[in-house]
Amino acid sequence: MPKSNGLSRFIRGVKHTVRAFISTKHPVLVHIVPIRRCNLSCAYCNEYDKTSSPVPIEEMIRRIDRLAALGTSVVTISGGEPMLHPQIYEIIARIRYHGMIAGLISNGYYFQPEKILKLNDAGLDYLQISIDNVNPDEVSKKSLKVLDKKLVNLKKYAKFKVNINSVIGSGVRNPEDALVIAKRARELGFSSTVGVIHDGMGLLKPLSEREKEVYRQIKALGARSYARWNWFQDYLVEGKEYKWRCRAGARYLYICEDGLVHWCSQQRGTPGISLYEYTLEDMRREYFTEKWCAPTCTIQCVHQVAHLDAWRDPQVPPDEYKKRRIKRETIARILSVD
């Protein structure tokens, strides 16, 4: 398995981007969960438990193979805490085996030098770590004080891209901590992003004036990042709705530990179809239909993928799409009879 490096990662990224502009008939980004368990219990998080077993490696390989068959460009491993999966390196290597870009989202606790080297060998392309505060509090233990040594390890050993994400509105004691975290990320040579916290449905939670000011200060840093296409947040921070075409379920897929396809981590259950039964017609439906939750959605990755198709293919309400599909199928049957 070839190791990831800056030049090869850039070239592969360009190829996948060009392909995404040429065709809309494949997923661009998939988040896949190999384990729901997490070593932490962050108060605002609804994406973990304390008891789940890891998905067997044979099943993870099968799911990744299926994503490759669908033409997926990027597979990001999330959780829970994915570094708890005992075969995490094999999962990453399988993604790279198929030529897909391999990403990982982690809380940062498990980046000792030997593990970073194994991630290099597996071919990891990029890593995102979320850090919530400078010192641990009752809301979160994902703290700069706890994780800084791990960040130094990554600076020294990682061959993959590292992004540090801070969150505004999570309820941590000092919102200004997010600015300290962003500056430390830049100091270490990492990219940095800032997210706006959402409720249990992925929708906007109102921010205080203090939190809004911290958000503006972080944005003013001009932090370079592969994930900086987040101007939609400027609307949400001011309490405004953002009009866009959400392509979740088509260009972006969220695959839970049970192997079901969902719009995103906050809309689990919709559509809730097995990955092995998910068809091009399912993707077409989700590509062309409006999502009720879109105007106040804060899920960064879904927004970023949607930029690729923002200029084409207007969406319609689900009922209207259903009528058009029935009409299209009726015409096809008539033509086949003739």
- Does residue 318 sit within a domain? yes
Is residue 286 within 8 A of residue 247, CB to CB? The reply is yes
Whether residue 105 lies inside any domain: the answer is: yes
In a domain, 310, yes or no: yes
Q: What is the pLDDT of residues 145-162, one digit of tens each?
A: 999 999 999 999 999 999
Report CA dihedral (193, 291, 76, 79) to the nearest 10 degrees: 90
Q: What is the CATH number of the domain that holds 214?
A: 3.20.20.70
- Greater confidence (332 vs 292) lies with 292
Which strands sit side by side in the sheet containing 260-262, from one edge to the other?
Answer: 191-196, 161-168, 126-130, 101-106, 74-77, 29-32, 252-255, 260-262, 271-274
When divided into structural domains, the chain yields a total of 1
Supply the pTM of this predicted model: 0.92
Range of the domain at 125: 6-334
Coil, helix or strand for 103? strand
Is 123 a member of any domain? yes
Domain assignment of residue 254, yes or no: yes
Residue 77 lies in a domain: yes
The β-bridge relationship of strands 260-262 and 74-77 is unpaired
Tens-place pLDDT, residues 53-104: 999 999 999 999 999 999 999 999 999 999 999 999 999 999 999 999 999 9
Residue 1 domain-assigned?
Answer: no
For the chain, give the mean pLDDT. Answer: 90
